[in-house]
Amino acid sequence: MKWTINNYPVKELATGEELSLNTYTVTGGSGKHVHIQASVHGAELQGNAVILQLMEYLNTTELKGSITFIPLANPYATNNKHGTYTYGRYNPVTGHNWNRNYIDIIQASKYDIDQFANNHKDQEWGTIKSLFKKELSNIFKNHQQTLTSKRTLSENNKLNLLLQQIAAKADGILDLHTGPVATRYLYSAEYETDVSHYLKFKHILIIPESFDGAMDEAAFMPWIHLRNALSKVGKDITLDIESFTLEFGSEETFCMKNAAKDVESIINYLKYKGLLAGTPDKISSHSCHLDNYKTIYSLKGGLVDYHFQPGQKFLKGDILASFYNLKDLDPSNPIDSAKSTVLAQEDGIIINRCPSSSVHQGMELFQVMTKLKENRLDT
């Protein structure tokens, strides 16, 4: 087992200091390559604990293939503290969400994917894959050079393009995040649904095979374009390169004990991909399509007593939270006069809730999975 460490500069600060990130690549025998990164949102820390546990595990286990780890993938966001709180989700300068700054490289570079598909349609899928990975590496290099020469490489582009470029070599891309106050859940594209069960998450959100700026989409879109272009010239393939976003609980928490359990999901996926020996298993889960992942916004301002926690199921009519509006309350009947309730309008599972109990009207209170599909898969 061999470890290779590389360092990439990502941002020069106003004082001249340079922020950089390290990649740690472990290589065993021949096999597939997996990319694992954490903390693109700076307050989302648990993925780093998972990476440490996995690195530790790999030092005593035989590996077929290679894995690149990028802990603390966005050092600027991690260092962006407001009081004791980490403001890591948005670039404080531009306001952009760090996980919406990626690009669909095939569209952005105007690459002629139909030409590539036509040139290689008669070759084996394994050969096409390795040729396309080489092509992707060149496309990223050229695109970056174009942006740099036109001086249009913004601070957001630089980090996100770098991460995409590093990940483009992989057969599996795992982007480790957390929610605000959240249960553990997984984003999976439609074509990856069967494989997603090997990651052993109890809650799965199915996303469309289209681009909305996130890393998981940015990593699978070139392959979706290629699959579609090959189909047009009469070659139908089963896409075996996946990209997932894994949400390991709540932000601002780092727990090695929980990570020892969290890492099992990735170990199981690595077994499925053939990097580790052993038979992968699946667990039962609930899934829903992104259209049925609903945000419950606050109808009022006030102080909130949350009655349901992430991971809990609820039924239509349940009281999800109580609101206390302390303006103009009746002091002879203080509690009842200040109180109102938020009722569930349909059945579902709480996935995220707002970390604060002080909310303005219109803020996001809960994110919930509805119209659940039950996947009974325990083996």
Considering only the stretches 3-11, 36-44, 166-174, 280-288, report the one whose residues sit in contact with Zn ion under the rule CB under 5 A: 36-44
Q: Of 253 and 322, which has the nearer Cβ to Zn ion? A: 253
- The structure tokens listed for 91 are 């670039």
Strand locations in 39-92 (E)? 64-70, 81-82, 85-86
State which residue, 65 or 88, has the beta carbon closest to Zn ion.
Answer: 88
User: Helical H runs in the chain?
Assistant: 46-58, 75-78, 105-108, 113-120, 125-149, 155-167, 193-196, 215-232, 256-272, 334-338
Q: In Å, how far are 17, 213, 265, 298, 376 from 105, measured between CA atoms?
A: 30, 11, 29, 37, 37
Residue with tokens 């249009």: 152
Token pair 């919930």 is at which residue? 368
Q: Give least dist CB 200 to Zn ion, A.
A: 20
Closer to Zn ion at the Cβ: 41 or 282?
A: 41
- To the nearest whole angstrom, how small is the minimum distance from the Cβ of residue 245 to Zn ion? 8
Cβ-based nearer residue to Zn ion, 165 or 178 = 178
Shortest separation between residue 350's beta carbon and Zn ion, angstroms: 18
Nearest approach, Cβ of residue 270 and Zn ion (Å): 22
Confirm or reject binding of residue 41 to Zn ion (CB under 5 A). Answer: yes
* Closest among 51, 59, 38 to 256, alpha carbons compared: 51
Comparison of 41 and 273: residue with beta carbon closer to Zn ion: 41
Q: Which is nearer to Zn ion, 177 or 273 (CB)?
A: 177
Judged by beta carbon, residue 171 or residue 216, the one nearer Zn ion is 216
Q: What residue type is 252 in one-letter code?
A: E
Q: DSSP of 188-228, one letter per residue?
A: EEGGGHHHHGGG--SEEEEE-SS-SS-HHHHHHHHHHHHHH
Shortest CB 366 distance to Zn ion, Å: 17
In 3D space, the residue among 310, 287, 8 whose CA is nearest the CA of residue 161 turns out to be 8
Give the shortest CB-213-to-Zn ion separation in angstroms: 13
Summary count for the chain: helices (H), strands (E): 10, 21
Q: Judged by CB, which is closer to Zn ion: 98, or 323? A: 98
Task: Work out whether strand 285-289 and strand 81-82 pair parallel, antiparallel, or are unpaired.
Answer: unpaired
Tell me if 177 contacts Zn ion by CB under 5 A: yes
Q: Which region, judged by CB under 5 A, interacts with Zn ion, from 45-53, 169-177, 300-308, 360-368?
A: 169-177
What's the CA gap between 275 and 246, in Å, rounded? 19
Residue 199 CB, shortest distance to Zn ion, in Å, is 17
Nearer to Zn ion, 171 or 175 (CB): 175
- DSSP-derived pairing of the beta strands 242-250 and 172-179: parallel
| Per-residue tokens: 315 | 């039924």
In contact, 358 and 323? CB cutoff 8 Å: no
- The residue number whose beta carbon is nearest to Zn ion equals 177
Minimum CB–partner distance for residue 261 and Zn ion (Å): 20
Give the number of residues in contact with Zn ion, rule: CB under 5 A: 3
Stretch that binds Zn ion, among 72-80, 150-158, 171-179, 337-345 (CB under 5 A): 171-179
Q: Contact, 84 vs 42, CB < 8 A?
A: no
Neighbours of 372 (CB within 10 A): 16
What is the number of residues in the chain?
379
Place of tokens 């990593």: 219
Query: Smallest distance, Å, CB 323 to Zn ion?
Result: 27
Stretch that binds Zn ion, among 35-43, 53-61, 65-73, 125-133 (CB under 5 A): 35-43
Nearest-approach distance from CB 258 to Zn ion, in angstroms: 17
Looking at the Cβ atoms of 39 and 196, the one nearer to Zn ion is 39
Q: Angle 208-42-358 (CA atoms, 0-180°, nearest 5)?
A: 90
Site for Zn ion in 63-102 (CB under 5 A): none
- Binding segment for Zn ion (CB under 5 A), chosen from 38-46, 287-295, 312-320, 355-363, is 38-46
φ, ψ for residue 275, nearest 5 deg: -80, -30
Site string for Zn ion, 291-330 (x = CB under 5 A): ----------------------------------------
What does the binding site for Zn ion look like in residue numbers (CB under 5 A)? 41, 44, 177
